[in-house]
Chains A and B, each alone.
Chain A
Amino acid sequence: MRDFPDIPQVPLRPPGKVMRLSRMGSMFPTRLSFLRTLIRRLSDEQARLTRPVWNICAQGFGHAVYSIDLGGHRYSLVAVSNDLPADARTDRVIATAWDTAYVLYDGVPDTAEIARICDAAPKQEAARFTERDLVLSRANKSVRLFGHVVDRLRSGKQPDEALVRNTGYLMRTTAVYGNGKFGIADRALYDERPGLDGPFMAEMLTVWMIRHFTHDLVEHIGGARLDRHLRRHLGIGNSTGLGMAPFLVNHPVLLNNWVMARETALARARAVTAPDTAVRDRLCDLARRAGRHLAEWQVPDAEHQGRIDRLQRDWQGRMAQILNLSQTADAPGEALVALCESGSEDLQELMAALVIEPFGDLVDGLSDCMSDPFGAMVVPFSGTAALRTAIDREFGWALGVDYAGRENCGQFWYVSAAKQEPRLGLRFEEQGAQKESPLDIARRISALRGDLETKDEPVSAFLGRHPEHALAALRVALGGRYPYAEIQDNLIAETCLPIDMLRCKLSFFGASKFDPKSDRWTRITLCQGAPLADELGPGADDWWLPVFAG
């Protein structure tokens, strides 16, 4: 992390509070979310999106190329649209065909390269790609909304606003692959380029460009333009399953840096005293907007809708106090956080995200600290006594649990043979636990602690006898330098809900309108309310918790 010693801040929230699954599963996007960072960058550069190729038939099939300059480089999205039979349309990662497929290309593809991508992209994982291909993705239509919009446009009308508001996107991506998958470029090839140097920036750029393709496609088929406020509200959906969850465990330094940046932003916002009237008014406006957003956040799952409804009641029930404290408190950020401290984690995290929002000048620079250019810069423990002390001091949350008990080890993570995707199995009901993936960090640290004897000896000698503890020893070493690196929960417990990990990661992407379909996968909306390509510029990045502008 970079040092910013001149900006006052209150103490950071402790990892033992922040890094619990239930709180991670309550997180909201903030202005440090990656899509927000991207939009600010595009706005700063006044980036221009062009569409040099549009080879799409009247029915909407064919290909198109979009190009944009960012940080001194030109990138192109090659979009391929195919006629997909309805019975082949599935959001599952094991699908083999999609309505549309995409490659973010490094540069501008010539005719041969376009032909190569048009052949390969629809095959997705079954094809091989090159280092000019930076991101690979695919998306399926939201059939109900897409068809409705086409029909309305063809009849000279705009689509039903309620349907646009409630669906929020024309297509859903079901995978956005980066970093070398299936032969595409290693992230290290471009992660020092301005604009693509933050986490997942190439993927976010791809998603934002895909959104424009979905707008153009539906207007092309419908033969008329969508009203701007409808296009603005139409983001890009995403369907995300278990494949995303292990990432947070397998990238502890990155997770630390994301959370550290966000928590530092919150600590700075809480430390602000006597802000000017504009900031106070902004807090009030954002609080009202959040209330509207919650009201528009409707999902089919009754349990999750109940949770949203409770949050909305809690929020509206405090609205008068929120508005009053925003206008009168000496330190409104601190006062607003305190106001919600007795409420649910949903309420607390919503307020945390709100409090950060008005203070871009204090916090936006933290986005530069959210990548992981160096890896785990930790010195391994030399002796087992120091290792033991560190476990007792910082990993108490992992100790004292009977990991042999069914409730504490009832699930196991594994990689499926079908598409080599992460999965979560039931240990006592399914086969395969002997091939378990090493996501059981808490159990491993507890086992390491159990095998450490009271005598002090070189860790290398100890690991010579117990090589199975090497991973746990590394994670303990990480804890000293990266306080937010570990999810402080038992990820193989029967109570572990992967959806909490998904929401945490997706909130850092900038996702909103979480729509869980089970405790293992969710639909979300990306880029809803984000500026369109012709709206980039000063002040464009004002779309936290977007609301329908109809």
Chain B
Amino acid sequence: MSWSASEIAALATKAARGAGAPAGQAARFGEAAAFCLMTGGAPAALEAALAAVPAGGPVLDLPAALDGIIARQGGELRSDAPAILIRAYVAVLPFAADATETGHGRWKIMVDLTRPSPRPTPRRISGCDGLIACMSELAARTFVPESEASRAAGAGAGLNDND
């Protein structure tokens, strides 16, 4: 089975929220996860990142660190996150940006605020069934079972619409 990038981004966002990440960081993880999987995989890195939530890890740390660098129009990032994850977070920034590893968990991040980030062409995603299962389980933590109350309140149409 193959997945669309949008499906993966949505699922990864919900999974991060289910793992305990705040909404803003979860959305950033969703975008980065889709990019990761479109460009070579790293399901293990994504699963590990989710496992570190809510105590810490790249899902919580990378967005604020990168935003600070954008605000300074570039700078150094210190992170022990996997390289593929850092590159993905940088690639999905709204501005054109580039990440160069300088060693020992240090990265040089260059940002061009005058240019939008080039849009990646979506590719089908497959071969990550374990990660999908993990993310689906985490995402399910954000779902609320439907109740009689919600149905009575008119969440949808009637049960029969033969008109």
Contacts and interface: CB of A to CB of B under 8 A. Distances in A.
B161 A90 contact: yes
Given A91-B157, A373-B119, A520-B154, A423 B144 contact: yes
Nearest to A380: B67
B49 interface: no
Contacts of A130: 2
Given A87-B160, A183-B3, A183-B4, A424 B155 contact: yes
Contacts, number: 184
A430 B149 contact: yes
B64 A464 contact: yes
Size band of the A side of the interface? 35 or more
Contacts of B94: 374-378
B88 to A, nearest CB: 15
B106 to A, nearest CB: 17
B144 A425 contact: yes
A411 B42 CA distance: 39
A212 interface: no
Given A375-B94, A425-B149, A180 B7 contact: yes
A116 interface: no
A437 B119 CA distance: 28
Given A183-B2, A373-B119, A460-B65, A423 B155 contact: yes
Contacts of B44: none
A435 B155 contact: no
B121 A460 contact: no
A519 B154 contact: yes
A415 interface: yes
Interface string A421-465: 001111001111001011000000000000000000011100110
A155 interface: no
Nearest to A128: B1
B122 A186 contact: yes
Nearest to A386: B71
B37 to A, nearest CB: 13
Interface stretch (A23-31, A69-77, A221-229, A470-478): A470-478
Contacts of A521: 154-157
B150 A471 contact: no
Contact of B162 (A143, A420, A470): A143
B71 A430 contact: no
Given A90-B160, A131-B124, A423-B150, A470 B64 contact: yes
A181 interface: yes
B72 interface: yes
Contacts of A431: 144-145, 147
B121 A91 contact: no
A186 B4 contact: yes
Nearest to B156: A92
B122 A416 contact: no
A377 B146 contact: no
Contacts of A378: 94
A416 to B, nearest CB: 5
Interface string B1-41: 11111110000001000000111110100000000000000
Contacts of B158: 90-92, 517
A416 B143 contact: yes
Most buried by B among A130, A416, A458, A467: A467
A460 B67 CA distance: 7
Given A459-B67, A459-B71, A473 B7 contact: no
B127 interface: no
A382 B119 CA distance: 26
Most buried by A among B14, B63, B113: B63
A91 B67 CA distance: 44
A429 B141 CA distance: 20
Nearest to B122: A186
A475 to B, nearest CB: 9
A479 interface: no
B116 interface: yes
A418 B22 CA distance: 24
A186 B6 contact: yes
Given A181-B6, A459-B68, A517 B157 contact: yes
Given A93-B156, A415-B14, 4 more contacts: A185-B4, A430-B150, A471-B24, A517-B158
6 contacts: A91-B158, A180-B7, A242-B156, A373-B116, A431-B147, A435-B142
Interface of B: 1-7, 14, 21-25, 27, 60, 63-65, 67-68, 70-72, 94-95, 113, 116-117, 119-122, 124, 140-147, 149-150, 153-163
Top 3 A-B pairs, shortest CB-CB distance: A180-B6, A180-B4, A470-B24
